[in-house]
Structure 1
Amino acid sequence: MSFRLRAARTKDLEPLYEMAKLTGGGFTNLPPDRPALGAKLERAAEAFGRDDDELGDDQFVLVLENAQTGEVRGTCQLFSKVGQQWPFYSYRLTTLTQHSQELDRTVRAEMLSLVTDLEGSSEVGGLFLHPNERAGGLGLLLARSRYLFIAMHRKRFADRILAELRGIIDDRGGSPFWDGVAGRFFGMTFQEADYFNAINGNQFIADLMPKHPVYIAMLSDDARSVIGLPHPTGRAAMRMLENENFRYEGYVDIFDGGPSMIAHTDDVKSVKEAVSAQVSEMELGEGERSLIATGHLTTFRSCYGARKLNDDGTISLDAAAADTLDVQPGDTVWSVAR
């Protein structure tokens, strides 16, 4: 059974909605709300259809489909420049050091400061794989294909890129971090705030959140213990990001306290090592296991396959990958080793 990633279409609304209902909360970019998802697909259609090859305020939605049945089984998103429609807020962990000569004592206080430092970055997010398909490396295909998309459309993305990982969510669907910090000011549960943010954006944070730093020592043990930690289901995603040269630099999500991972776009491994070449052969036997992509914007598609980089600058592909991507000799593909 083969799978490929492709640009989302408006007809993908229903499968996206069905997957959104399975997320369990905390997935701001995939809300279980048809109008909100429909708006995302419309915005993605505008981004895919934009002719000028420049950095803009774009949102791209990709979907994973079964190449035989056409059934949608996963999704991911890319944002070319965050913080354009409304401010992009994060908390940053900082330390204030104070010394008393009379007591001969130095005190270091950790704080959470509300910042917009990451504004203007590109972002990868919204990754969700159907629970029945979490095998065979499909999560890795979803994640890394985004970087091939960036390499293929490099001028449309910023020089810095971030990825927000979902934080700790308890059994009742709440967030210890939200309850200990922002929830004290908003009179909303985490689920209510998360849903409101997904539908309306986070301007309400700017309107109501105190701008002074929050001293971590004043938080509850439950809230302190989850700062900067990914949800258990996101640990593998964090390792994948680290393998791509993303790093955690003390930025955390304002809702659930999950870590924000940051990288220079050109240093992301799958961007840096992506190779463009023309197809010369489509009957390759054994070759290097790779991610392979082709197309431009609306025609983008990617899959796993075998490749051989030839001395003449061309590339040989296995027949299954060539069929899944619908490429012919002379077509251009981008690839990176798996």
Structure 2
Amino acid sequence: MLVLRPVELTDLPQLQRLARESLVGVTSLPDDTERLRERILDSCASFDKDVHNQGPENYFFVLEDLPRQRLAGCSEILATAGFNEPFYSLRNRHFTSASRELNIEHGVPALSLCQDLNGHTLLRGFHIDAAFVGTPAAELLSRARLMFIAAHAPRFAEAVITEIVGYSDDEGQSPFWDALGKHFFDLPYPEAERLCGLESRTFLAELMPQYPIYVPMLPQAAQDCIGRIHPDGQEAFDILEREGFETNSYIDLFDGGPTLYARLAGIRSIAQSRTDTATISEDIDAHGRYLVSNDSLKEYRAIVADLDYNAGRPVALSAEMCTALNVTEGHQVRVVAL
């Protein structure tokens, strides 16, 4: 059985393995022991805090294969993008110029460095082992974060964003970076992303041009990357799109990947999840597959389960499911259809 839970310091060696295997562009999962240790300790402190409003907290989750005692993936929630340092992105909008004398009006798409997304809750750090791609485990890893938000809504913003990794080739080259960022930093794309993971994206972002970049002036290969998803990032995109997230006019600063946006009220796993009382049964006539979580904070757990569930009635769970969820008879659990 796979269970999603908060990260622990003992997970560090296995997180290093996940970091080595992660996609270039997942900067919140740096392949560096000390940075990962700091990330884990920061998450542990966030789960320990008794807060009742949105702040700088970062909630780091891991997906554990219980029988094998092996981590199969990880994902995060940053409660407030831009709380401790600016959250930069590129706004992709038309710039309109007009001439009254010639009676001409012309619109040109332009990219502008901005901090418009400061204050939103940010989903990041999604990585799953290749063996679980396309399985319910990927849904669990991504969507259980949203169920956590549903259970602890005061800790988060009214709107959630996420950046999907943009296109780069098999050698790790990004046409978008080569056409734009590389002119300001003599670094290949993988190295720029690595530095962002180790340090901060702010020091690179602040050296980017402060004036609009007219899209038609970029090479066609770079233009084609605007809003384009890396093939390995497609599943993360698809899961959240089914949740109600939509693309907007913002793209990633370095690779041009799309940004997804949704308000809490429109997110499926939040709006459609229900809480009911758990009851233990070893005779479950399952009629559907569900995501099930407890509503705990530090002891948060979530699994995929085949259930016979009707809203407003007790949720029949096996003893194994209850153990994985760290609940007993009578506890409240949160349920949403897979």
The bucket for the TM-score relative to the shorter chain is over 0.9
Deviation of 1:102 after TM superposition, in Å, equals 5.0
- Map of 1:337 onto structure 2: 337
| CA RMSD after TM alignment | 1.7
Secondary structure of the residue that 2:119 maps to in structure 1? coil
Pair 291,312 (structure 1): closer, same or farther in 2 beyond 3 Å: closer
- Map of 2:289 onto structure 1: 289
Q: Deviations over 1:172-193 (max 9, x none)?
A: 2121111111211122221221
Give the TM-score of the pair, scaled to structure 2: 0.94
Pair 337,97 (structure 1): closer, same or farther in 2 beyond 3 Å: same
- Map of 1:234 onto structure 2: 233
Pair 94,135 (structure 1): closer, same or farther in 2 beyond 3 Å: closer
Pair 287,317 (structure 1): closer, same or farther in 2 beyond 3 Å: farther
Q: How many angstroms apart in 2 are the aligned matches of 1:323 and 1:42?
A: 26
Q: How many angstroms apart in 2 are the aligned matches of 1:324 and 1:45?
A: 20
Q: How many angstroms apart in 1 are the aligned matches of 2:94 and 2:201?
A: 26
Comparing 224-233 with 286-295, which one deviates more in the overlay?
286-295
Matches within 5 A, 1:178-257: 178-257=177-256
Matches within 5 A, 1:261-276: 261-276=260-275
Secondary structure of the residue that 2:46 maps to in structure 1? helix
Q: Deviations over 1:97-126 (max 9, x none)?
A: 223355554322110011111101001111
Q: How many angstroms apart in 1 are the aligned matches of 2:321 and 2:59?
A: 24
Q: How many angstroms apart in 2 are the aligned matches of 1:94 and 1:295?
A: 40
Q: Which amino acid aligns with 2:331?
A: D
Deviation of 1:232 after TM superposition, in Å, equals 1.1
Q: How many angstroms apart in 2 are the aligned matches of 1:222 and 1:181?
A: 12
Give aligned-pair identity as a percent: 31
Q: Which amino acid aligns with 1:97?
A: T
The size of the alignment, in residue pairs, is 337
On the 8 A contact 1:177/1:224 being kept in 2, the answer is yes
Structure 1 unaligned residues grouped into runs of 5+: none
Q: How many angstroms apart in 1 are the aligned matches of 2:140 and 2:156?
A: 20
- Map of 1:87 onto structure 2: 86
Comparing 305-314 with 124-133, which one deviates more in the overlay?
305-314
- Map of 2:141 onto structure 1: 142
Secondary structure of the residue that 1:125 maps to in structure 2? strand
Q: How many angstroms apart in 1 are the aligned matches of 2:312 and 2:156?
A: 31
Give the TM-score of the pair, scaled to structure 1: 0.94
Secondary structure of the residue that 2:73 maps to in structure 1? strand
Structure 2 unaligned residues grouped into runs of 5+: none
